[in-house]
Structure 1
Amino acid sequence: MAQKVADEKNISLKALVDKGTNRVIFVEADNDFIDVLFSFLTIPMGRIVRLARDHSIPVEIGCMNKLYQSIEKLDVQVFRSNACRDMLLLPYSAANCYCKNLKLKIVDDVEPTRFMCCVFSFHSWLSYYANVTCGFDSCSYLINRPLHPSVGDSEVGEVFVKEGTRVIITDDLQVIPPLSAAGISLFTKLGATNSNTTEELTFSIGVEQVLNLLVGSFVSKTPFTETLLKPNPVPKLGGWNFNQEKCMESQMPGASINEEEETISVKLIVSKSKNVVCYAEVREDFVDLVFSFLTLPLGFILKQMLDSPWKGCIDQLLKGVLNFDEQFFKSNHHKELLCNPKLVPGFSYENNLLGIEETVYYKFPERKLTSDRSIIPSHQSSETYEVLKFIDPKSHGDKDTSIRGFLKLPAIFTVTDNLDVRQVSPIFQLSILNDLKVHFTDIEDRTVHVGKKEALRLLVASFVSDSVLTDAFLRNPIETSTKQEQ
């Protein structure tokens, strides 16, 4: 029954299988596969949605798919620049310069790390996108000169963990060092010690299997079994009860709104009888917020959901990384790339309520580029290296400092409960009410104010729910002012 190991581009994986139930008990993984698995945490959400669609994997991750489709359907003129739309639909990963060395690359449509610079390279202004105006003083030249610096390691292998590292990974993605007391206890509990009911199989894992494993882990507690033994259509993640308040209490203690904190105002149109949000009327700042969810690395999103029960098991992967002994990582920096993933420079914006940072790059005279600050000796003069400055690709040369995010302003949008975002349209709003069978006399306006805690609650809801606005604002009440429609 064991599958034949394929070519050298694949990874060979041994699995212990329960013959009676035809399920994977655990797999043995070396550093090649561990790196691939850990790299999931660095992939932006928009890339995951795109990968699943491009490979015809029928999964709906909360309302992330709907957000993605909304960006595709919006008039390109709504965005500040063409780059803004690209940043949301095909977001870069700040760890791409490391992940290029993975033995299996699931994000295979990303070019090797390449920056564009001004023809006057001494300016040190870079961009991920060509044909944006240089940011150096009054320089008006376009940034369109390719720069291929030496970034990270040059050899395939040893991306995050050291060569020779081996672990066992359970069907629900628990990562356990071999021969640990916890592992032995777990195997006994799973019945893995009975050789009469188990068998060892060897699988050849390629890109398709890795993608199925990634996507399956969003919606299943047994992604290895479903990927290797029972390839079935993947269900959607949504339409079930998720305790967001428990999640948010552990991540964002204290009052929901800080009086000194800048907030976003949102007008909800609510059905009084059904106690659901029909739609919201919002400005561009709210749409910037929800669209930015697609630029976030998976690890950042999962960190907001630790210790919260839900349908999938991808969170076990983050827990495994957090608890993984530092001696197995190449450095503390490599562990930080996974535990605290950051945005690519230029992908954040002023008043980003989510609190995620952008990566900082340092350049040395030999043109080596790094984001690892720890390799710079404390006694080394700042004259021997420089902090690289990146052009904000969203600006496209505009000088309007009031513009912050991906969209032009002023603008008003209609956002449905499942995050279908469209330019404001009374006809669309009427169709929503008709579809919900909600009469005019049954609706009221409620204004809510979104700060950091509420932004994170929206993020969590968009990841696991198909009624995001209702779950975030009505089932977890926050400061509101209500006005009955006349």
Structure 2
Amino acid sequence: MATYPQEITLKVFVNKTKNCVDFVESDLDFVDVLLSFLTLRASLKCECGGDINTSVSYDLNRDDVNYEEFRGVFIKGAKFVVTDALCISLVEDLISTLNKCVNGDRNHMEVRLVKIKREQVLRILKRSLISDTPLTDVLLQNGEGITPKFSDSLAGKKVEKKVIDKEKKVCKLNMVLTRNKVLYAVASQDFVDLIFSFLTFPLGSLKKHLGSRFRMGCLNNLYGSAERLRSSGYMTAGCAERLLNPKLAPYFNCKNQVIGVEEEKEDLYYTCNGFCKLTALYFSCKSHGYSPYHESNQVTLVDPKSQLGGTISSHGSYCQKLMYMVTDELVVTPLSLESVVSFHNEIADPIKTAELSVTEAEILDVLAVALTSNTALTDAFLGTTVGVFTSVDVKGE
């Protein structure tokens, strides 16, 4: 059977002088898709594309729709305006702004009808993670070969720390560093578990719990837009929590999680004596009828991270109990003499070491900078390690 690609039609207002998208006008389907970004896991920075297979399932060619009655997945209502930085507003809320823009650039504004498919939506998602202008990047330039750009860059900024007198120590790190860069850390299972857990957090939860530490500008704008749509009554009932405080999937938690994201309630599963797997909706086995010899029983799910024969709690480990090398870019490998020697041979500067007891606030620093930086350990720890170098100079004086 033939399949037909779904399309979303956007009315794109292009500033011809600046060659950028000022804003787009869209029906609620495109806005629904944008808001769904907040529910996706942080791991999409590595696996972008696999998480929104079902998100782009709409067609915006709906001139006959009564928008007073129509309801989307997350929102309801009429048409919306989306800026280049993914701020979402109702058309009526931006009339004065739009009039000012048109009056000031009447000869430089061009309106284009652009149809986008799933591939373009995925590119907008990717660009929203690394750029303040994802609509311009994709709709005008296709995002090819464009360098990341942020108006509020982390470069040269110190990530704010929690103001706590006595902070909880969660693990220890042996830092190996030069004068201005952390090369790598020697870490135990506890620290590796914590940074692996970053991949499981929904982006909306990261914004909620990190607050101003969360510096992915476009997703900040989406989160703020969701809050305003909720306050204005345009959010579908029951969806606010899913967008503004999404939960972890069952058994995705880890011991010593530092930001307090809750887990979703696990689904119920049943099985009959004939080993047919049933769901909570189908707990009577139709294959075997209602024979007393094939009764259905609820099964207990086991945390896949737990050891064989271990507990069924949701606090197992993502990795084995080993020592690991964690590079500045958060590449994790089991610690080995060969990898250490190979790493040191590539460095000409003197190398020193420092042992740190890492606090929860510093783990939050790592999480915050890991979202936008390729030098997460340097950004999070270099200032802390100044003054605590050991007297051992690993490589020359």
TM-score by length of 2: 0.77
Contact kept in structure 1, 2:23 and 2:83, CA below 8 Å: yes
Q: Shift of the alpha carbon at 1:286?
A: 0.8
Task: Quote the residue 1:445 is aligned against.
Answer: 353
Aligned to 2:291: none
Q: 1:171 aligns with which of 84, 92, 95?
A: 84
After TM superposition, give the deviation of residue 195 of structure 1 in Å. Answer: 3.6
Q: 2:390 is paired with a residue of what secondary structure? A: strand
**Amino acid aligned to 2:377:** L
Name the CA distance, whole Å, in 2 between partners of 1:312 and 1:323.
17
The code of the aligned residue for 1:25 comes to D
Q: 8 Å contact 1:353–1:455 — kept in the other structure?
A: yes
Q: Deviations over 1:143-202 (max 9, x none)?
A: xxxxxxxxxxxxx9721112x34321111111112221xx24543564566443222211
Do 1:266 and 1:448's aligned partners in 2 also have CA atoms closer than 8 Å?
yes
Partner residue of 1:296?
Answer: 201
The answer for the alignment partner of 1:266 in structure 2 is: 173
Q: Is the 8 A contact 1:279 1:429 kept in 2?
A: no
Aligned to 2:181: 276
Give 3-state SS (helix, strand or coil) of 1:213's partner.
Answer: helix
Asked if the contact 1:237–1:464 (Cα under 8 Å) also holds between the matched residues in 2, the reply is: no
TM-score (norm 1): 0.64
Residue in 2 that maps onto 1:115: none
Give the drift of 1:305: 5.6
Q: Rate the CA distance shift 1:401–1:392 in 2: closer, same or farther, 3 A.
A: closer
Residue 48 of structure 2 corresponds to residue 51 of structure 1: yes
Which runs of structure 2 are paired with 1:43-442 in the superposition (5 Å)?
A: 43-51=40-48, 100=54, 103=57, 158-162=72-76, 164-180=77-93, 183-187=94-98, 190-191=101-102, 194-231=105-142, 232-236=144-148, 241=155, 243-245=157-159, 248-249=160-161, 252-255=162-165, 257-258=166-167, 261=168, 263-271=170-178, 274-303=179-208, 306-307=211-212, 312-326=217-231, 327-331=233-237, 333-361=238-266, 367=280, 390-395=301-306, 397-399=308-310, 404-409=316-321, 411-438=322-349, 442=350
Cα distance change on mapping 1:280 and 1:197 into 2, 3 Å: same
Is contact 1:216–1:234 with CA below 8 Å preserved after alignment? no
Q: Is 1:38 the counterpart of 2:35 in the alignment?
A: yes
Q: Which residue of 2 aligns with 1:19?
A: 16
Secondary structure in structure 2 of the residue aligned to 1:179: helix
1:101 to 1:25, Cα distance in 2 relative to 1, 3 A: closer
Structure 1 counterpart SS, 2:207: helix
Residue 400 of structure 1 deviates from its aligned partner by 7.0
The answer on whether the counterparts of 1:244 and 1:460 sit within 8 Å (CA) in structure 2 is no
Q: Is the 8 A contact 1:17 1:200 kept in 2?
A: yes
Cα distance, 1:436 vs structure 2: 3.0
The answer on whether the counterparts of 2:131 and 2:148 sit within 8 Å (CA) in structure 1 is no
Alignment CA distance shift 1:240-1:325 (3 Å) = closer
- Aligned residue-pair number: 352
1:466, 1:264 → 2: CA distance?
22
Say whether the 8 Å CA contact 1:165–1:328 is kept in structure 2: no
The change in CA–CA distance for 1:429 and 1:237 in structure 2 (over 3 A counts) is farther
**RMSD between superposed Cα atoms in Å:** 3.5
Write out per-residue CA displacement over residues 231-284 of structure 1, whole angstroms, 9 at most, x where no aligned residue. Answer: 232435799615342xx34xx3324x52xx35111111122xx23212111111
Cα 1:310–1:336, aligned 2, differ >3 Å: closer, same or farther?
A: closer
Q: Using the alignment, how far apart are the partners of 1:189 and 1:427 within structure 2?
A: 64
Radius of gyration: which is bigger? 2
Instruction: Tell which deviates more after alignment, 315-324 or 189-198.
Output: 189-198
Unaligned runs of 5+ in 1: 1-6, 53-89, 106-155, 370-386
CA contact (8 A) 2:210 2:364 kept: no
Preserved CA contact (<8 Å) 2:13 2:24: yes
Residue 59 (structure 1) aligns with: none
Per the TM alignment, residue 315 of structure 1 is displaced from its structure 2 partner at its CA by 2.1
